[in-house]
Structure 1
């Protein structure tokens, strides 16, 4: 395929998968339970954090976590104290356990009380065509309170060669306004043109088959290479092709 044919092919797949029926089988359904901006942000951030492994398990544990937070995540975070520890002690998703969750809630409370909220922290270090430095600085802010060293592994750092798949997915959810109702578009201080595709085994494999990506490891260097390819197809909204790459990989076994 030449570039025009490739763009037409991928644009068709975006239309196919970037629609409300996608929500039913995707972790994005968890933040879609809410209408308050802060509820959407916190639910989205927490479920993106546990978004690895079996999708059904991610969704089930996302619902479980929201129920533990009284289905009011922003109020729960802002009122969170040590008295809530026992009620969360049973939560676990793979290697993310209740100790990690407790710190995440303290860190989120700190971000909303002292740093203007999640959008503010990500936006203040964003660059013209990348959010990767912003993710690095977000992690530094997130872990400024005393914490267990093990908990740091649950927030990736692109400047340490991570593709930061889950955080890039979270940013897609918050920033892209697809006018269709899948991504939320509630963060207007960041442009979709700054976003990167959430790079995982599915999107990476499809991108290599389509010659959008040559590098074999799914790391930050591969993400940069994929960014360049996708920005040539649509500089204003390159991350829309996440729907095409993911759909081709997961649903079509491309």
Structure 2
């Protein structure tokens, strides 16, 4: 398939899957319960962090997170006390447990005492090539409040060759200006052109079959290669093709 036909095919599939119907069964449905920017940020960051495994299980865990925060994420983060963290007891999603969640709440409180929005961290560290270095610095800042060793693995680092799938997905949600109201576009000081496709087994498999990705490992180098090719197809909104690649892989078995 030549570049022109490939672009037309992926544009069609992106439009087909980038609709409000996508929301219901996707982790993005958790932050879609809110209107306030900080509530969307916090709930979106937390659900993105645990977004691996069975999608139904992810959504069930997301609802438990919202219950713990009394369905008021920003208010809870700002005002919770050490005693309030007992509500985390018993929470577990795969390898993410109550100890991890307690640290996440503690670190988020500290960050929101220093920043009005998590966006400011990524704006501060962005560069012309994308947001992967900014993800590295976000991890550094997030882990700076006495993070337990076991918890550190739950924030990926592209500079350690991680594809950082979940954080790139979160960035798509917050940065991409979506005319169909799936992605939020609440971080308006970052350009969608800098976004990277969240690389999972489905998007990677389809990307390889379409000739967009040659690297065999799903790592940071593969993300860079896919970025380069998707930005050729649409320099302004390259990660709209996440909908196409994911949809083709998950729903069509492409």
Give the TM-score, by structure 2 length: 0.99
Matching residue of 1:61: 61
Matches within 5 A, 1:205-220: 205-220=205-220
User: After superposition, where does 1:124-135 map in structure 2 within 5 Å?
Assistant: 124-135=124-135
**Number of residue pairs aligned between Structure 1 and Structure 2:** 254
Matches of 1:75 and 1:36, distance apart in 2: 11
In the alignment, the residues of structure 1 paired with residue 234 and residue 37 of structure 2 have an alpha-carbon distance, to the nearest angstrom, of 28
Matched, 1:160 2:157: no
1:197 is paired with a residue of what secondary structure? coil
Partner of 1:109: 109
Root-mean-square deviation (CA, aligned residues, Å) is: 0.7
Name structure 2 gaps, 5 residues minimum: none
- How far does residue 68 in structure 1 lie from its aligned partner after superposition? 1.3
Within the alignment, does 1:151 sit opposite 2:171 as a pair?
no
Give 1:229's aligned residue. 229
Q: Does 1:17 align with 2:11?
A: no
Aligned with 1:216: secondary structure? coil
What is the deviation of 1:115? 3.2
Residue in 2 that maps onto 1:246: 246
Distance 1:182 1:117 in 2: 21
C-alpha separation in 1, matches of 2:127 and 2:114: 23
**Runs of 4+ in structure 1 displaced over 4 angstroms?**
none
Q: TM-score, normalised by structure 1?
A: 0.99
- Cα offset for 1:138? 0.4
SS in 2 for 1:217: coil
- Corresponding residue for residue 29 of structure 1: 29
Distance 1:206 1:44 in 2: 26
Distance in 2 (CA, whole Å) between partners of 1:211 and 1:83 is 53
- CA offsets 1:9-34 (integer angstroms, 9 cap, x no match): 00000011000000011000000000
What SS does the corresponding residue of 1:113 show, helix, strand or coil?
A: helix
Task: Give the CA deviation at 1:160.
Answer: 0.2
Cα distance between partner residues in 2 of 1:58 and 1:100: 16
Separation of aligned partners in 2, 1:117 and 1:233: 31
Shift of 1:148: 0.8
Matched, 1:99 2:99: yes
